[in-house]
Structure 1
Amino acid sequence: MNKTFKIAVIEDDENLRFLLTHRLKAEGYDVIETSDGAAAETLINENQPDIVLLDWMLPGKQGSDICNDLRVNGFENMIIMMTAKAQDVDKIEAYNLGVSDYVTKPFNMDVLVAMLDNKVKFLSNSNTGSDIQRFGDMEHHPNTHSLIKNGKKIELTILENRILLYFLKNVNQVINRDDLMMVVWGYNSDVNTRTLDMHIVRLRKKIEDNPDGPKYLQTVRGIGYKFVVD
């Protein structure tokens, strides 16, 4: 795998930032860094990294506020929140802010690198096949994270976009929940089926005329899901 991907490390713990930066550079990634929350947005907007490793608690500006502002201003690349907050309510808050994934401190460096490698592989594969796909009266535009339904544009979150893209590449096939989580989030023990199901519910509301009786995104009890296209 050719790692020409840029990663921004936003972390105020000097030792951890050094370890992350050193390891990621050794793995072949292009790394930029800062310890200051107030400077992070400028760094990210000017450099447009493929992946942002973002600490939740930062001087100057909180990671949650940085993430929210980046999304509002159109930054669509992957943001992985690094935090000691491990409660489900914290994780849900992070995902609602637009976080792509969530890493709980302390974390194993080898596991983090494996997760990043998995995400880079997914991003590389996604970039090679991101043509507009049609189903029913809808068009999926993966590059702009959107749907066109009845002539109206519907915005998708990054995770919703990724989930739908995977389903459209595997129409009429039963998809195991664990397989879907691995593809969408990569290796991360913090992601559970409840988190996945929450995103499925939201995606159904955007694509289904009747989300409670879905035509496309159907549940396969005890296994996972099936995206049905005639």
Structure 2
Amino acid sequence: MNKEIKIAVVEDDENLRFLVSHRLRNEGYVVCESANGDDATELILSEQPDIVLLDWMLPGKQGSDICQEVRAQGFEKIIIMMTAKAQDVDKIDAYNFGVSDYVTKPFNMDVLVALLENKVKYVVNNDKSEVSKFGDIEHHPHTHSLIKGGKKIELTILENRILLYFLQNVNKVVQREELMMVVWGYNSDVNTRTLDMHIVRLRKKLEDNQDAPTYLKTVRGVGYKFVI
């Protein structure tokens, strides 16, 4: 399935870049590499990889600048930010930078590969069918947005991830720990209060009355349930 899927690894840490590239080649991907922000834009535009793994902090240019530059020049493929702090993810304005997703460092290689395989399905099948409809709402995960009553509402990367997980587990009780694992990953230094804050924000965007939510319900002492 991975044949001829090209991934660009933009990372200034030589060891990490080697490890990631080596593993991805073993998984059957075609890999191109860049070690700094100045060469990265050129590499991405000339190689046109299917997926870009882009370090957030780079010498030369920030990951966000590269992202905006290549998007402005018509690059529409998947860009995954690699960031060292889970907290920084909130600073990644996915919608304006054009970031598709993120992974926090240090990451487990198997987790990274699983994330990429998930993205590859989208690349290979060009799977636009991921759009979910419920009530007067449409969720467009790849543009991090909702269309509600005909109006477009932007989601953050985390809100997008949370909603996507709920939509994959409709009408099931989702425990907080499970949700945190999915959203922030293994090495998460995030507490449940942070999760609850994101839920509140997501509710604001989804619900007509967030005090009596239609979709995103709290299950006391356990977690949440997305009801359709």
Superposed counterparts of 1:101-180, under 5 Å: 101-104=102-105, 107=106, 112-123=108-119, 130-180=129-179
Unaligned runs of 5+ in 2: none
**8 Å CA contact 2:37, 2:61 repeated in 1:** yes
Question: What are the superposed Cα offsets for residues 40-67 of structure 1, whole Å, 9 maximum, x if unpaired?
Answer: 23433552432414151x2221234435
* C-alpha RMSD over aligned residues: 3.4
Question: What are the superposed Cα offsets for residues 132-186 of structure 1, whole Å, 9 maximum, x if unpaired?
Answer: 432222222344433221121223344433332332232222112233344445x
After TM superposition, the score normalised by the length of structure 1 is 0.73
Distance 2:88 2:142 in 1: 29
Superposed counterparts of 1:7-26, under 5 Å: 7-26=7-26
**8 Å CA contact 2:54, 2:63 repeated in 1:** no
Distance 1:146 1:59 in 2: 31
Distance 1:3 1:194 in 2: 39
Unaligned runs of 5+ in 1: none
2:50 match: 49
**8 Å CA contact 1:45, 1:75 repeated in 2:** no
1:38 match: 38
Question: What are the superposed Cα offsets for residues 176-208 of structure 1, whole Å, 9 maximum, x if unpaired?
Answer: 2233344445x4212634453343233212111
* CA spacing shift, 1:6–1:197, aligned 2, 3 Å: farther
* CA spacing shift, 1:119–1:191, aligned 2, 3 Å: farther
Distance 1:188 1:69 in 2: 31
**8 Å CA contact 1:38, 1:61 repeated in 2:** yes
* CA spacing shift, 1:225–1:142, aligned 2, 3 Å: same
**8 Å CA contact 2:50, 2:77 repeated in 1:** no
Identity %: 53
2:198 match: 199
After TM superposition, the score normalised by the length of structure 2 is 0.74
State the aligned residue count. Answer: 218
